Amino acid sequence: MIIREIEEFKLTKSKIKAYLSYIFSQNLPNFSEDIDEEKILKSCKDISDELMGYDTFYILDKNGYQISDNLVFSAKGVKNTFKGEDKSTKSYYKKAVKEKRAYLCEPYPGTFDSKLKVTMAVPIYSQNKELLYVVCCDILLEDILKLINPSSVDSVFGKISRLSYFIISMTLFCVAGILFYFGVKSIIVTNFSLNDTSKIFESTILLTLSLAILDLIKAYFEEEILGRHEKNSTNSKTMIKFLSSIIIALAIEALMLVFKFAMTSPKEIIYPICLIVAIAFLVASLGLYIYITKKAIFQK
């Protein structure tokens, strides 16, 4: 899932950059004498052996022109060479040169396929701190995520987890459909001439529960299957939506009981009042939870 991969990359970008920076710094010659293209390519081969994934290495000169072929060590060959191309406008080149350190760009689609990849650019300096080259490495996003996080979304566990959520969501959808059916049926068969509103309240409760389950399914699909998470949010949207719908259903039930006992048994009206108090406590607790979590976000 492309969206989920991008979300995971955003969460682990600092870890990925630190890991790649360490590997590149340990293998690439920098701030030393006699740095040439041959030595750099040999170092790139060593880096490729450590990455153990699809990767493409190429070297840019200090002006941003590619001076080497695209070397795919994992495939033992050259692929789609762009030797001589001006890449001085690429963000990874400009950032690496400006910051004078390794730079990891954001994911972008490849030129010849739709697979997302990232580029790691590392400036190479002479002993006199003069810019000589910029070594670039294109890595597939899915490969780098697997390397950094073994429990990545493309792992076996990740796929099983998404499948499980999908099956559970479909089951809940069937439950919501059944509740909706009985809720509508209860309204249709109600004899309104008897002035009995209890059936209407019961139907409303069933329809509200059906809506709550649909909200739950929607949240599961967005967060667990599609991987759409709200930025800078620690609130569980699933829990908040579901509890809100449950509170509405309980409030309707309490209102129905108030009317029922007021007309039939006024002495027992204390029970729906207790239910209303419990609902008020639940609303206050939910509001406090939302307030505390949002406050924690603003303090970051």
- Coarse DSSP helix, strand, coil percentages of the chain, rounded to the nearest 5 percent: 60, 15, 25
How does pLDDT run across 228-247, given as a tens digit for each residue?
Answer: 655 445 456 667 777 887 78
> Which residues have a Cβ under 8 Å from the Cβ of 147 and sit 6 or more positions away?
19, 51, 52, 53
Is CATH 3.30.450.20 the classification given to domain 1-148?
yes
More confident residue, 75 or 183: 183
Residue 78 bridge partners (DSSP): 71
pLDDT at position 232 = 47
Which residue in the block uniquely carries the two structure tokens 């139907």? 203
Q: What is the pLDDT of residues 95-128, one digit of tens each?
A: 999 999 999 999 988 776 778 899 999 999 998 8
Query: Which residues share a beta bridge with 126?
Result: 32
**DSSP assignment, residue 85?**
-
Q: Which of 213, 141, 203 is nearest to 177 (CA)?
A: 213
- Local confidence band at 2 (pLDDT 50, 70, 90 cut-offs): low
State the average pLDDT over residues 83-100. 92
Residue 72 has pLDDT above 90, yes or no: no
Distance of CA 194 to the CA centre of its chain: 54
In this prediction, residue 53 carries a pLDDT of: 64
pLDDT tens digits for range 279-297: 999 999 988 888 887 777 6
List the domain boundaries for the chain.
1-148, 156-298
Beta carbons within 10 angstroms of residue 221's beta carbon = 14
Residue carrying structure tokens 């950059």? 17
Rounded distance, CA 178 to CA 206, Å? 9
Residue 249 pLDDT greater than 60, yes or no = yes
C-beta of residue 161 within 8 angstroms of C-beta of residue 223: no
